[in-house]
Amino acid sequence: MPTRTYKKLLEGNEQFVAEALASDPDFFGRLEHAQKPKVLWIGCSDSRVPANQITNTLPGEIFVHRNVANVVVHSDMNCLSVLEYAVGVLNVQHVIVCGHYNCGGVLAAMSNDYHGAIDNWLRHIKDVYRLHADELDAIEDPHERGRRFVEFNVIEQVYNVCKTSTIQKAWQDGPLPHVHGWVYDLG
Protein backbone atom coordinates (compact mmCIF):
# COMPACT_ATOMS: atom_id res chain seq x y z
CA MET A 1 0.00 0.00 0.00
CA PRO A 2 1.52 3.33 -0.94
CA THR A 3 2.53 5.41 2.08
CA ARG A 4 0.06 8.21 1.30
CA THR A 5 -2.90 5.81 1.23
CA TYR A 6 -1.79 4.11 4.42
CA LYS A 7 -1.23 7.44 6.17
CA LYS A 8 -4.69 8.63 5.09
CA LEU A 9 -6.24 5.57 6.78
CA LEU A 10 -4.43 6.25 10.05
CA GLU A 11 -5.34 9.93 9.95
CA GLY A 12 -8.94 9.00 9.24
CA ASN A 13 -8.98 6.76 12.29
CA GLU A 14 -7.53 9.52 14.47
CA GLN A 15 -10.22 11.90 13.23
CA PHE A 16 -12.97 9.32 13.86
CA VAL A 17 -11.72 8.74 17.43
CA ALA A 18 -11.50 12.46 18.16
CA GLU A 19 -15.00 13.16 16.82
CA ALA A 20 -16.51 10.18 18.66
CA LEU A 21 -14.93 11.22 21.97
CA ALA A 22 -15.95 14.85 21.49
CA SER A 23 -19.61 13.92 21.09
CA ASP A 24 -19.62 11.03 23.60
CA PRO A 25 -16.67 10.67 26.01
CA ASP A 26 -17.77 7.15 27.04
CA PHE A 27 -18.31 5.89 23.47
CA PHE A 28 -15.31 3.55 23.40
CA GLY A 29 -15.78 2.57 27.04
CA ARG A 30 -19.17 1.10 26.19
CA LEU A 31 -17.86 -0.63 23.08
CA GLU A 32 -14.95 -2.11 25.00
CA HIS A 33 -17.16 -4.16 27.32
CA ALA A 34 -19.65 -5.74 24.93
CA GLN A 35 -21.45 -5.48 21.64
CA LYS A 36 -25.22 -5.70 21.47
CA PRO A 37 -26.18 -5.38 17.83
CA LYS A 38 -29.79 -5.97 16.90
CA VAL A 39 -28.94 -6.72 13.27
CA LEU A 40 -26.76 -9.16 11.33
CA TRP A 41 -25.86 -7.75 7.93
CA ILE A 42 -24.84 -10.18 5.19
CA GLY A 43 -23.63 -7.99 2.38
CA CYS A 44 -21.35 -7.75 -0.60
CA SER A 45 -17.63 -7.08 -0.25
CA ASP A 46 -17.98 -4.16 -2.66
CA SER A 47 -16.35 -1.09 -1.09
CA ARG A 48 -19.27 1.06 -2.24
CA VAL A 49 -21.73 -0.70 0.08
CA PRO A 50 -20.40 -0.35 3.67
CA ALA A 51 -23.15 -1.41 6.07
CA ASN A 52 -22.59 1.21 8.78
CA GLN A 53 -22.33 4.16 6.44
CA ILE A 54 -25.32 3.40 4.24
CA THR A 55 -27.51 2.76 7.30
CA ASN A 56 -26.05 5.65 9.31
CA THR A 57 -25.24 3.39 12.25
CA LEU A 58 -22.36 3.42 14.71
CA PRO A 59 -19.86 0.71 15.60
CA GLY A 60 -21.58 -1.91 17.73
CA GLU A 61 -25.00 -1.51 16.12
CA ILE A 62 -24.63 -3.99 13.23
CA PHE A 63 -22.81 -7.33 13.17
CA VAL A 64 -21.40 -7.66 9.64
CA HIS A 65 -20.45 -10.48 7.29
CA ARG A 66 -19.38 -9.65 3.75
CA ASN A 67 -18.39 -11.66 0.72
CA VAL A 68 -18.53 -11.34 -3.05
CA ALA A 69 -22.20 -10.98 -4.06
CA ASN A 70 -23.60 -11.54 -0.53
CA VAL A 71 -23.77 -15.31 -1.00
CA VAL A 72 -24.97 -17.68 1.73
CA VAL A 73 -23.73 -21.21 1.09
CA HIS A 74 -24.40 -24.13 3.39
CA SER A 75 -20.78 -25.25 3.12
CA ASP A 76 -19.28 -21.84 3.98
CA MET A 77 -18.25 -22.28 7.61
CA ASN A 78 -17.23 -18.64 7.86
CA CYS A 79 -20.72 -17.38 7.01
CA LEU A 80 -22.44 -20.11 9.05
CA SER A 81 -20.26 -19.32 12.07
CA VAL A 82 -21.12 -15.63 11.83
CA LEU A 83 -24.81 -16.50 11.58
CA GLU A 84 -24.64 -18.88 14.55
CA TYR A 85 -22.81 -16.34 16.71
CA ALA A 86 -25.16 -13.51 15.73
CA VAL A 87 -28.31 -15.51 16.41
CA GLY A 88 -27.16 -17.80 19.22
CA VAL A 89 -24.92 -15.48 21.24
CA LEU A 90 -25.73 -11.89 20.26
CA ASN A 91 -29.47 -12.62 19.90
CA VAL A 92 -29.91 -10.36 16.89
CA GLN A 93 -33.51 -9.56 16.03
CA HIS A 94 -32.97 -9.10 12.30
CA VAL A 95 -30.83 -10.70 9.60
CA ILE A 96 -30.51 -8.57 6.48
CA VAL A 97 -29.13 -9.93 3.22
CA CYS A 98 -28.19 -6.84 1.24
CA GLY A 99 -27.26 -7.00 -2.41
CA HIS A 100 -26.74 -4.04 -4.70
CA TYR A 101 -27.35 -3.15 -8.31
CA ASN A 102 -24.30 -3.21 -10.57
CA CYS A 103 -22.72 -5.94 -8.43
CA GLY A 104 -19.52 -7.10 -10.10
CA GLY A 105 -19.90 -10.63 -8.76
CA VAL A 106 -23.42 -11.01 -10.09
CA LEU A 107 -22.49 -9.46 -13.44
CA ALA A 108 -19.46 -11.76 -13.71
CA ALA A 109 -21.71 -14.75 -13.09
CA MET A 110 -23.81 -13.70 -16.09
CA SER A 111 -20.87 -14.24 -18.42
CA ASN A 112 -18.94 -17.31 -19.46
CA ASP A 113 -15.63 -15.48 -19.16
CA TYR A 114 -12.79 -16.99 -17.13
CA HIS A 115 -12.21 -15.08 -13.88
CA GLY A 116 -9.78 -17.40 -12.12
CA ALA A 117 -10.37 -18.83 -8.67
CA ILE A 118 -13.46 -16.68 -8.16
CA ASP A 119 -15.24 -18.80 -10.77
CA ASN A 120 -15.69 -21.43 -8.05
CA TRP A 121 -17.54 -18.88 -5.91
CA LEU A 122 -19.51 -17.55 -8.89
CA ARG A 123 -20.86 -21.06 -9.47
CA HIS A 124 -23.30 -20.44 -6.60
CA ILE A 125 -24.58 -17.31 -8.32
CA LYS A 126 -24.76 -19.05 -11.70
CA ASP A 127 -27.09 -21.55 -10.03
CA VAL A 128 -29.40 -18.65 -9.16
CA TYR A 129 -29.40 -17.64 -12.83
CA ARG A 130 -30.24 -21.20 -13.84
CA LEU A 131 -33.25 -21.20 -11.49
CA HIS A 132 -34.60 -18.00 -13.04
CA ALA A 133 -33.26 -18.34 -16.59
CA ASP A 134 -36.66 -18.15 -18.30
CA GLU A 135 -37.46 -14.75 -16.83
CA LEU A 136 -33.91 -13.40 -17.06
CA ASP A 137 -33.36 -14.50 -20.66
CA ALA A 138 -36.63 -12.81 -21.65
CA ILE A 139 -35.25 -9.41 -20.55
CA GLU A 140 -33.59 -7.91 -23.63
CA ASP A 141 -31.85 -4.95 -21.99
CA PRO A 142 -28.62 -6.29 -20.40
CA HIS A 143 -28.69 -3.56 -17.74
CA GLU A 144 -32.23 -4.44 -16.68
CA ARG A 145 -31.40 -8.17 -16.81
CA GLY A 146 -28.47 -7.53 -14.46
CA ARG A 147 -30.69 -5.59 -12.06
CA ARG A 148 -33.26 -8.37 -11.98
CA PHE A 149 -30.53 -10.97 -11.47
CA VAL A 150 -29.30 -9.01 -8.43
CA GLU A 151 -32.84 -9.13 -7.04
CA PHE A 152 -33.13 -12.87 -7.65
CA ASN A 153 -29.75 -13.39 -5.99
CA VAL A 154 -30.92 -11.59 -2.85
CA ILE A 155 -34.14 -13.62 -2.79
CA GLU A 156 -32.23 -16.90 -3.08
CA GLN A 157 -29.71 -15.91 -0.41
CA VAL A 158 -32.54 -14.97 1.96
CA TYR A 159 -34.00 -18.40 1.27
CA ASN A 160 -30.60 -19.97 2.00
CA VAL A 161 -30.39 -18.11 5.33
CA CYS A 162 -33.86 -19.34 6.25
CA LYS A 163 -32.91 -22.96 5.48
CA THR A 164 -29.91 -22.98 7.83
CA SER A 165 -30.11 -25.07 10.98
CA THR A 166 -29.34 -21.93 12.99
CA ILE A 167 -32.43 -20.09 11.78
CA GLN A 168 -34.63 -23.17 11.84
CA LYS A 169 -33.69 -23.80 15.49
CA ALA A 170 -34.24 -20.15 16.42
CA TRP A 171 -37.69 -20.22 14.83
CA GLN A 172 -38.61 -23.33 16.82
CA ASP A 173 -37.97 -21.28 19.96
CA GLY A 174 -39.74 -18.08 18.85
CA PRO A 175 -40.38 -15.65 16.01
CA LEU A 176 -36.92 -14.08 15.91
CA PRO A 177 -34.85 -13.28 14.03
CA HIS A 178 -36.74 -11.70 11.17
CA VAL A 179 -34.94 -12.25 7.86
CA HIS A 180 -35.00 -9.49 5.23
CA GLY A 181 -33.73 -9.03 1.70
CA TRP A 182 -32.57 -5.59 0.60
CA VAL A 183 -31.22 -4.31 -2.69
CA TYR A 184 -29.17 -1.12 -2.48
CA ASP A 185 -29.21 1.17 -5.50
CA LEU A 186 -25.84 2.83 -6.02
CA GLY A 187 -27.36 5.25 -8.52
Catalytic residue among 46, 65, 66, 98: 46
The full 3-state SS of the chain, as one line of letters, equals CCHHHHHHHHHHHHHHHHHHHHHCCCHHHHHHHCCCCCEEEEEECCCCCCHHHHHCCCCCCEEEEEEHHHCCCCCCHHHHHHHHHHHHCCCCCEEEEEEECCCHHHHHHCCCCCCCCHHHHHHHHHHHHHHCHHHHHCCCCHHHHHHHHHHHHHHHHHHHHHHCHHHHHHHHHCCCCEEEEEEECCC
Residue 179 main-chain phi, psi, to 5 deg = -115, 130
Which member of 103, 124, 145, 147 is catalytic? 103
- Check if 103 is active-site: yes
- Catalytic residue, chosen from 65, 66, 100, 145, is 100
> Is 79 among the catalytic positions?
no
Active site residue 137: no
Query: Is 4 a known active-site residue?
Result: no
Which residue out of 30, 48, 143, 178 is catalytically annotated? 48
The one catalytic residue in 44, 98, 124, 147 is 44
Cβ–Cβ under 8 Å, residues 54 and 99: no
113 classed as catalytic = no
Instruction: Give the residue numbers marked as catalytic.
Output: 44, 46, 48, 100, 103
